[in-house]
Structure formats: structure tokens, C-alpha cells
């Protein structure tokens, strides 16, 4: 591990609560901390309702975080944004959404969709420069230039997701938040999109926050993984640490739920269950236990001793 790596994104004790009614508050994200280093891919996994998408949206400021600190490349982007920080955030962080049909304006041509960010932020001198940038990015994501004059409905699912990726990358952002960006695609297309994202990362050095519920895909793309459950990161570590030596029972149950394409083995296997209340796990009582520099588990002392002795 390199020591001089500096975090591109530093999230500390981030909380995102939603007030449902006068008495009821949903704590979607309840105090999570993590760092993302430059040029790496951080995978955030968990079941639906675990707050992983909320985290992504709070970081890019689609929500106003309730509490906590988000420092992005030296700029504090939590709390009220001043003009410079807002401009910095909007041009250097981008998002790829889950459903490519829902996130592309059906009445705009692909070229306009991709160029929109460049135009709004006045990043180009003239139309020719915009065209050049759009054409470059289209080449990179594997779409032809003729396709730029088409509308989103004229593309297949995989191609639409490529448009979504092109739109996110055209500003040359430092951090891209990919929120379940492959879940809506077919298996054979998923692999294409994941490979494309990896190639682009090698070429442009972009950092990804990759949000997904499919652990096997996350393994392919991520350098480090954070496992979320009910608004807490219960375990974080490098991909190898999480897969080779999972400590938290929730991580173990997630790993055991991955289906293997091996009929004889798969038929006999019974997935592990994890029930927080039955096991008496209280996330708010636990604190972070450090196994190694990168591998951390959220647990109370007693739980930690039990889980480590089990494995």
C-alpha cells in the first residue's frame, strides 16, 4: 500500500435523515465514514434499503446531509455551499444512474444530452470545441458519431447506458458515482459496460464510487469494498479482505447468497441467514475494530471477539 496516497473524497460521520411525519424520522444513513483515494474504485454494497444509494446522492448533494463532513479534493462540500465550491463540485463529480431510459431526456438528441453540462458551465469557447469534446467521448464509450443525432429511444439498453456514461465523463470529472448502473442491463451487456468502465478508468484515471447489490460484479471492478446495512457500514476492506476473510455475519450472509453457476454444488448449498435482531446486534453500540490498515469491522468488543474466533 502506498503511504502518500491522499483521499480524494473524505466522508466523516455522514448522516442523512428523512422526516416522514412529526414523530417519525427515517435514518437512512446513520453516521458513516470512509475515504476514497484517487484513481481507485470503492464499491458500496448492501441490500435495498441499506442506504447505499442515499449515501451516493448525499455526497453529490442531491440531498442536504443532516450531519457530518464531506471533503472532496480539499473542498468542504457539506453544509451550505458557497459559489466556488458548488461550481467545483458540479464540474468535478458526476453520476451515472440506474435506469438509462429514465435518466435521459427523451426529447433531446444524444449530442445535446452529452453537451448539456459543458454548455451550462461555459467550459468551452465555441460550438466547435463542444462538438469535438462530444465526439471524443462518443468514440471512447464505443458509440459512432452518426448516432449522436439520434434520440434515446432509438438505442438499446446497453447503448443508452453508454450515453449515460458519456454524459458523466464528458466534463472529465475526478469522481464518478455509479449508482446501480448495471442492474437494469442484460447479463451479456453488463459485462460490456463493466469492461468499458474499467478501460475508461485506466485511460482517464477517474475515481469511481460503485454502488451495487451484486457482490460478484463489485468484486470485478472494486479495489476496496464497504458493506452497508441499515445505514451503517458494517465492514470495509480491500476486495481480497472482504472475500477471503469476512468477519461480520452480514457480510458472510451476503457472500453466501451469491449464486454459483455450478448445479451440483449449488443445489446442496443453503444460504446463510442474518437477522440483526435475533442475533442481538446493535449497530449504534458498536465501534470500529481495526483488523489491518484497510480492514475494519463495526462491532462491540464482545461481538468482535466472538466473530473473529468463529472464522
Partner 1 sequence: MAKFKRDKNERVLSIRDLNISFKTNFGVVRAIRGVRLDLFQGETVAIVGESGSGKSVTVKTMMGILDSNGSIDSGSILYRCIDKDGNTREFDLAKMSQKDIRYQLCGKHIAMVFQDPMTSLDPTMQIGKQIMEPMIEHGYADKKEAAEKALELLKEVGITEPEKTFKQYPHELSGGMRQRVVIAIALACDPDILICDEPTTALDVTIQAKILEKIKEIQVKKNISVIYITHDLGVVAKVADYVAVMYAGRIVEKGNINEVFYDPRHPYTWGLLSSMPDIDTDSDRLFAIPGSPPNLMEEVVGDAFAPRNPYALKIDYREEPPMFDVGGQHRVASWLCDPHAPKVEMPAELKVRIEKMKKEAGIND
CA pair distance 222, 208, nearest whole angstrom: 9
- Tell me how far, at minimum, the Cβ of 49 lies from partner 1, in Å: 8
**At its nearest, how many Å lie between partner 1 and the CB of residue 26?**
15
Site for partner 1 in 281-300 (CB under 8 A): none
CB distance 68 to 18 below 8 Å: no
Q: How far apart are CA 37 and CA 210, in angstroms?
A: 13
Question: Closest separation between CB of residue 184 and partner 1, Å?
Answer: 10
Stretch that binds partner 1, among 16-24, 120-128, 213-221, 292-300 (CB under 8 A): 213-221
Q: Which is nearer to partner 1, 229 or 289 (CB)?
A: 229
Q: Give the residue ranges of DSSP H helices in the chain.
A: 52-59, 83-92, 110-120, 127-141, 157-169, 187-204, 215-221, 239-244, 249-257, 263-268, 276-279, 301-310
Quote the least distance from Cβ 293 to partner 1, whole Å.
21
252 binds partner 1 (CB under 8 A): no
Helix axes 187-204, 157-169, angle to 10 degrees: 20
In whole angstroms, how close is the CB of 157 to partner 1 at the nearest point? 8
Stretch that binds partner 1, among 110-118, 131-139, 209-217, 278-286 (CB under 8 A): 209-217
137 vs 227, beta carbon nearer partner 1: 227
Q: How far is the CB of 31 from partner 1 (least distance, A)?
A: 23
* Dist CA 21 CA 216 (whole Å): 38
| Nearest residue to 175 (alpha-carbon basis) of 32, 2, 7, 5 | 7
Contact flag: residue 271 with partner 1 (CB under 8 A): yes
Residues 69-88 that bind partner 1 (CB under 8 A): none
Concatenate the DSSP letters of all residues of 181-206 into one string.
TTTTS-HHHHHHHHHHHHHHHHHH--
Q: According to the binding rule CB under 8 A, does residue 267 interact with partner 1?
A: yes
Nearer to partner 1, 3 or 202 (CB): 202
Check if the beta carbon of residue 156 is closer than 8 Å to that of residue 122. no
- Number of residues located near partner 1, criterion CB under 8 A: 44
With CB under 8 A as the contact rule, the residue among 13, 82, 127, 216 that binds partner 1 is: 216
- Cβ atoms of 117 and 137 within 8 Å: the answer is no
Binding to partner 1 (CB under 8 A): which residues in 148-207?
Answer: 156-159, 186-192, 194-195, 198
247: Cβ–Cβ under 8 A, 6 or more apart, which residues? Answer: 235, 291, 295, 297, 299, 304, 307, 308, 311
Residue with cell 442491463: 185
Q: Are 177 and 168 in contact (CB under 8 A)?
A: no
Q: Per-residue contact track with partner 1, 13 to 52, x per CB under 8 A?
A: ----------------------------------xx----
Length of the chain: 311
In the complex, the smallest distance separating the C-beta of residue 243 from partner 1, rounded to whole angstroms, is 6
Q: Name residue 75's beta-bridge partners.
A: 72
One of 81, 214, 245, 276 touching partner 1 (CB under 8 A) = 214
Q: Would you tell me which residues interact with partner 1 (CB under 8 A)? A: 47-48, 156-159, 186-192, 194-195, 198, 213-217, 219-220, 243, 253-267, 269-271, 273-274
Amino acid at each position: 500500500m502506498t503511504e502518500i496516497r491522499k483521499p480524494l473524497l473524505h466522508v466523516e460521520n455522514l448522516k442523512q435523515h428523512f422526516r416522514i411525519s412529526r414523530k417519525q424520522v427515517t435514518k437512512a444513513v446513520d453516521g458513516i465514514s470512509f475515504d476514497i483515494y484517487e484513481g481507485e474504485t470503492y464499491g458500496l454494497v448492501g441490500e435495498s434499503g441499506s442506504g447505499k444509494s442515499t449515501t451516493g446522492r448525499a455526497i453529490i448533494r442531491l440531498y442536504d446531509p443532516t450531519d457530518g463532513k464531506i471533503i472532496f479534493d480539499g473542498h468542504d462540500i457539506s453544509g451550505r455551499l458557497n459559489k466556488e465550491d458548488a461550481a467545483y463540485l458540479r464540474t468535478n463529480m458526476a453520476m451515472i444512474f440506474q435506469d438509462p431510459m429514465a435518466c435521459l431526456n427523451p426529447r433531446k438528441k444524444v449530442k445535446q444530452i452529452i453537451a448539456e453540462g459543458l454548455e451550462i458551465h461555459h467550459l468551452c469557447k465555441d460550438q466547435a470545441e463542444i462538438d469535438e469534446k462530444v465526439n471524443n467521448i462518443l468514440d471512447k464509450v464505443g458509440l459512432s458519431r452518426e448516432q449522436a443525432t439520434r434520440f434515446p429511444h432509438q438505442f438499446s439498453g446497453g447503448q443508452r447506458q453508454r450515453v449515460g456514461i458519456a454524459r458523466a465523463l464528458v466534463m472529465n470529472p475526478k469522481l464518478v458515482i455509479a449508482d446501480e448502473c448495471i442492474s437494469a442491463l442484460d447479463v451479456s451487456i453488463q459485462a460490456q459496460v463493466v469492461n468499458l468502465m474499467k478501460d475508461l478508468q485506466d485511460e482517464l484515471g477517474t475515481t469511481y464510487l460503485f454502488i451495487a447489490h451484486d457482490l460478484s460484479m463489485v468484486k470485478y471492478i472494486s479495489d476496496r469494498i464497504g458493506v452497508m446495512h441499515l445505514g451503517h457500514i458494517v465492514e470495509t476492506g480491500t476486495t481480497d479482505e472482504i472475500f477471503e476473510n469476512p468477519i461480520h455475519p452480514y457480510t458472510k450472509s451476503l457472500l453466501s447468497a451469491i449464486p454459483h453457476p455450478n448445479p451440483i454444488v449449488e443445489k446442496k448449498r443453503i444460504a446463510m441467514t442474518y437477522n440483526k435482531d435475533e442475533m442481538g446486534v446493535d449497530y449504534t453500540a458498536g465501534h470500529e475494530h481495526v483488523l489491518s490498515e484497510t480492514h475494519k469491522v463495526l462491532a462491540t468488543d464482545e461481538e468482535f471477539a466472538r466473530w473473529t474466533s468463529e472464522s
